[in-house]
Structure 1
Amino acid sequence: MTITDAPPATRPAKRRIVLSVLLWLLLAPGALWFLGRAFGLERGMLIMLFAGTPFVAAWTWIPFLIALVAKRWAAAAVAGLVAFGMAVCVLPRALPDFDKGPTEGVELRVLTANLLFSGADPAQIVQLVRDNDVAVLAVQEFTPRGEEALKAAGLTELLPYQQLAPEYGASGSGLYSRYPLTDPGSRRNDGGFQQAFGTIQPPGAAPVYLESVHPLAPAHPTMFAGWRTDLREQLPADAGRTPRILLGDFNATLDHRVLRELIDTGYRDAADAVGKGLVPSWPSRAGMNGLVTIDHVLVDERIGVRDVEVHDVTESDHRAVFASLTVPAAS
């Protein structure tokens, strides 16, 4: 007997089986992704893939809705748990925190920008500093050519104090400040990138340490170990020392366990705190406003977050991140 000769009652049964199999196949990737995200199982190529977790979180609702419509209750229950779990991982970034940190203190406005080998429009960077009353600018992929271009565009008139470590290629770093920098310096991480740092003390405020962060990107299997090492060796928050601000191109999203572990030492992600943690910052080219959020401002929990904005930068593949903060007042 051929399939077309099957009894009428058999055909619906076969269709139900096929539909059930398809449903489980649809929800399996999301379920495995959720387990990997929940337990921080970022290894190998999964490191880069995990940056797309918000997109997968949106996808997980599709098999859930299909299972409900098809009345496949077991599949719907599993798919619902997966979708809910992914939402718990991702959705809080789009909602302002109840606790954004202290509201009493001195305002400090900071900006971080990856300049893409200093190809970014220097006049636009200076305009962002001027328009947002920025007191500290951190730059990455900072070259000698970029240093001269920013100076010619008038940046040093606005931010006269600097700790600069320009280098050809992608490894250069810099900090520009309105206020004098004490104990300035630059350290080279294991990935080979410079990270400029220094301490400022705005009028009426206690000292604040800032560092322009740029760990190695996990762009190739030979870089995976270095990426992890660079993130693990970022300065942890320390309640017994000067409050710290780490800002820059972290080459990691909040879906990477190693970045969450750094934050758990006593930082808060500024964009996450104000409900803008899903605003993408990279890649920003050819009219694209980005897909993933790898540029961050991390602030000590003793520092409050007032607002965060993300700005396009011409001829850079990163968007600049601006944060208005409240730093502790001088005691």
Structure 2
Amino acid sequence: MAEKNYYDILGVKKDATDSDIKKKYRKLVRQYHPDVSDDPDADNKIAEINNAYETLRDKDKRSEYDAMLDNPFAAQGGARGFGGFGGQSAGGAQGGFRWEDIKDQFGEGEAFGGGGFRFDDIFSAFGRGARGSAGQSAGGQSGFDQFGGGFSQDSKGQDQHAEINVDLASVYSGDDYSIKLNVPVRQANGSVSYDNKTLKIKIPKGITDGKQIRLAGQGAAGIGGGKNGDLFLKVTITHADNIRLEGANVYQTVNITPWEAALGEKINVTTPAGTLGVTIPSNSKSGSNLRLKGKGIPAKQAGDLYLTLNIVNPEVTTDEAKQAYEQLKQAFANTSINR
């Protein structure tokens, strides 16, 4: 039985659009991600899926890969063609087309687990590294031989992308995180193995949601003497449900009583910037914002903290409380409101 090519792995046709490829990739990653899949071979499958997608999502890499599939016996006169890779076919002939060789040359994918981060494109799509990162040699030349179409001996490994969840408090103070992952290491014979490694990551103070942290040399293994690719971690800031972020600005909903809103009082509010004393202006309305300048995320240009007031009416559970509301009703008998 013939080995599957990248299109077979993703379950798409060779003329599939970029959108179709991305859609099928997301579906497969959700299906086989080790955190949710019961498949005992989930790790290998997710690595295979990621490896295929890394090639097919890039226009240039996909074009080169298609050329290799169309002409697997391109090696002529000693030149290394797309299909040969210097390997042998099952019958021992030189220049045979082997799936293992293709995987070795294009780089192994790997599922990054643990540490609160996930593969890219599982939950959201985000930017990839410098174009051609998997095909740049140490000397800056393309990983593909410009004459024979084969691979150079010192191609840089592919950049990898993942996501890390960071608590909002860590963004305010800066913090150290530890993550565990399998780091690809290319052996002398060209095969790829994986070493379990714990990496300590410094979360920069003031980093905003969606920014990336670059870990040099922690991506896919290089070929020959080529350097490893880099690992880019997209930061997703986690926070309480009453908080939302807009860049470096932080919006926090704060519950207040009707008398605090009407009379104006000073209250203490627990915020990401610490416990702050805040004066509620008299006659405040629900939904209005109090701006605390510079109390947002401490980025290069610090954001502001906006406290969104939410007036909460106490429940009437006693006769005294009911009487108080009756008195309030009498006091404001002539008040009209828009309904």
Classify the TM-score, shorter chain: under 0.3
Compute the TM-score of the two structures, normalised by the length of structure 2: 0.22
For the pair shown, which has the larger CA radius of gyration, 1 or 2? 2
Higher relative contact order (CA 8 A, sep 6+): 1
